[in-house]
Every structure is written in C-alpha cells, then in structure tokens.
Amino acid sequence: MEIRTLLLEDDNNTRSLLERILTDRGHTVFGYASPLLCPLYEDVRCHCKKTRPCVDFLITDNQMPGMSGLQFIQIQAERGCKIGAQNKAIFSGSWMNAEISLAQKLGYRAFPKPFKMEEFSRWLDLWEEQLRK
C-alpha cells in the first residue's frame, strides 16, 4: 500500500530531512515550503474520494510565511478534509498553550521544535501500522 504524505515546512533543511525520513519509510511525499504553494489550498472544496482521503499523513510546521499551519488546518477542515485525525502532526518552535489546545482539538499531534526523532518515529510507526491493516 502506498502511503501518501503532505509535508508543509518553510525551512528547506528541515523539509529535506523530513522528506528523506518519510521517503526511506516508503512514503510518497508532497512537500511545499508554504501552504500557499500547496494545490489543496487553491482548491475551494475537498475532492477526496469518499473511501480514502487524498493523503494519508499531513505534517506541517506552524510558523510559516503567508499562513500558519494552524490556519491551513482550519481551512482544510472547513472544506471537508477527510484525513484521519490520528495521522496529522504539527511542529512549532514557539508553542503557545492556546495553539497546542487548538492543534489537539483539531486532531493533530503537536511536536515541539527541535523534535525528538525517536518520538516522531514512534508516532509514525503506530499510524503506518494502522494504515497497512
């Protein structure tokens, strides 16, 4: 089974690292430096098939130029994004309590930056196994 991941990260080094990690794990990665560059942002409604979302994982940074990860998440939720609640992560180097609460309310796993690779890998292991079942 192909695992498709949308990755939004404005830092080129971090995006490249995450793309490499995910690709090595068998993911097809669609990486963008900003939500504004993502084709899903331009589309005003969700076109996911009823049985499967357009991506299996959505991983985003929060602080990005033009739009935060949380703003992108909220827009996609309003448009009917069907990605599973467990398969979403958001990273930030400057979390505020309200942002963490909102991310969790929207079903996202909140990771601090710098993130611990072991913790991120365990999270991926758990949900990749669920997807493959």
pLDDT tens-place string over residues 7-30: 999 999 999 999 999 999 999 999
Report the C-alpha gap between 17 and 39 in whole angstroms. 22
Number of domains present in the structure of the chain: 1
* Mean pLDDT value across the chain: 84
- The CATH code of the domain that includes 116 is 3.40.50.2300
Mean pLDDT of 47-64: 77
pLDDT in tens, 61-86: 999 988 998 888 888 778 777 665 56
Residues in CB range of 87: below 8 A, 6 or more apart: 56, 57, 58, 127, 131
Look at residue 104 and tell me whether its pLDDT is greater than 90.
no
- One-letter amino acid identity for 38? C
Could you list the residue range(s) of the whole structural domain that residue 76 is in?
Answer: 3-132
Write down the pLDDT at residue 5.
93
Q: List Cβ neighbours of 16 (8 Å cut-off, separation of 6 or more).
A: none
The pTM assigned to this predicted structure is 0.86
At residue 46, the pLDDT reads: 54
The pLDDT assigned to 40 comes to 74
Please tell me the predicted confidence (pLDDT) of residue 92: 86
**Helices in 37-133 by DSSP H: which ranges?**
39-42, 69-78, 97-105, 117-132
